[in-house]
Amino acid sequence: MRTKLLFLLLTPLLAGCYQEVNGTTIQDDEVVLDYDDFQDLNLEWKNLFSPAKSHYFVYIYSISCGHCGHIKKEVLDFVNANKESFYLIEYTEEIQTKTNVVETIGKEKIEEIYILGTPTLLAVTNWSLSLNIAGESEILNYLSGLPHRDSC
């Protein structure tokens, strides 16, 4: 009887503990990334076209954005596995917001670029904007279609 009781008490410990982060259940030994973990990938809005790379992505987020919080884990896991091609920008009021972001595609000057809101994913190819999408599902769907490296 004692053995069964001990087994019942220890089973949850052996199975691992779980917690919820941004609506996602994670195991205690799983690493939860935060924006602060990527300080070397932070970019200022005025420097959107500054990186000396022919192709890269820029994820624009806001700490207070609920939509950003919902996809934070997935986006940061993807960024972590693809650090060489990603930058992060925390939204500030200097970033213009408008509705017809398709008009920004092909633009090469920061003054001509605006976003719909946060979260937004931009791509820059050969120093001109080649992608400007916003929203949880749009960003996650786009990222899921990209080839990515395993972070191990």
pLDDT in tens, 7-20: 445 445 444 444 45
For the chain, give the secondary structure using H, E and C: CHHHHHHHHHHHHHHCCEEEECCEEEECCCCCCCHHHHHHHECCHHHCCCCCCCEEEEEEECCCCHHHHHHHHHHHHHHHHCHHHEEEEECCCCCCECCCHHHHCCCCCHHHCCECCCCEEEEEECCEEEEEEECHHHHHHHHHCCCCCCCC
State what percent of residues in the chain have pLDDT above 70.
Answer: 77
pLDDT in tens, 93-146: 999 999 999 999 999 999 999 999 999 999 999 999 999 999 999 999 999 998
Residue of 32 and 13 predicted with greater confidence: 32
Global confidence as pTM? 0.79
